[in-house]
Amino acid sequence: MIIAILVLFFTVVLSSFLVKVFPPDNSRWLKMALAFSGAYLFTITIVHLLPDVLLGNASPHRVGYWVLAGFFLQLVLEFFSHGVEHGHMHTHHNGHAHAGTMPFLLLGSLFIHSFLEGSILVEGGERHAGHHHHTGENFYAILLGIAIHHIPAAFALMSVLMSRIGSFRKAFLWLLIFAIGAPLGILVSNYIIKDNIGGDLVFTALTGLVAGNFLHISTTILFETSPDHRFNRNKLLATLFGLGLALLTDLA
């Protein structure tokens, strides 16, 4: 659990420094990273999250409602975040109009998004009440997927904050709201929900919500990185690499 908290926190923190290396208008590397992360997220959702929550639930058809809720919840969150979760920055056309203002709704939506992702990472990985099992391999496969997904998201968020505030130091302090979201989700699940009566039902809901969330984000990323259904070679390779890595975690 401590490893997961540190990995997710420092992934966001360190990724924010990418704005000092890559200018926001040079998005080639970002599109490659998004194609990779989108393919990875989609694959682990199909081979890990959905089988886990469906096979471990006495009423699997109910899980579908949570998946749908997660899918459309992400749609609502992106109304406020403007797609920062999948690399949208909107620094050019919004920068001057909103210079000096803080995007509190954006930060709030990203915090909720990150908190939910962290909430499904449970130490030990077993929930006996509902015969639901998260294997150790799945834990780290999902942890890796969340961390990979947070790299372009942190870069995009930092770019937006920099365009609003103009100071790296001040923008970095606000970025920490996003950075602590997933670690807080981990702590709440492991210390508050895990051992409480009804905790298994809560975990079923959380896993379904995150599965729907991942389906929305990953498919949006994959469609956006292939406008007019045209893949260039590099994006195709990045997508296949993400797919292959996620499948390898299933074989480990």
pLDDT digit string, tens, across residues 166-212: 889 999 999 999 999 999 999 999 988 887 767 788 888 999 999 99
Q: Note the pLDDT of residue 42.
A: 95
Position 123 scores a pLDDT of 75
Count Cβ atoms within 10 A of the Cβ of residue 46 and give its class: 0-12 exposed, 13-18 middle, 19 or more buried: middle
What angle in degrees, to the nearest 10, is found between the helix axes of 168-179 and 136-165? 150
* Cβ atoms of residues 54 and 60 within 8 Å: yes
Mean pLDDT of all residues in 38-62: 88
DSSP 105-153: HHHHHHHHHHHHHHHT--TT-EEGGGTEE--HHHHHHHHHHHHHHHHHH
- Phi/psi at 96 (nearest 5 deg)? -70, -35
CA distance 225 to 33: 10
Kindly report, residue by residue over 58-88, the tens digit of the pLDDT: 788 889 999 999 999 999 998 888 778 776 6
Global confidence as pTM:
0.86
Please give the average per-residue pLDDT across 144-170, as a whole number.
Answer: 90
Locate all alpha helices (DSSP H) within the chain, ordered by sequence.
2-15, 28-44, 50-55, 60-81, 91-95, 104-119, 136-165, 168-179, 181-188, 199-224, 233-251
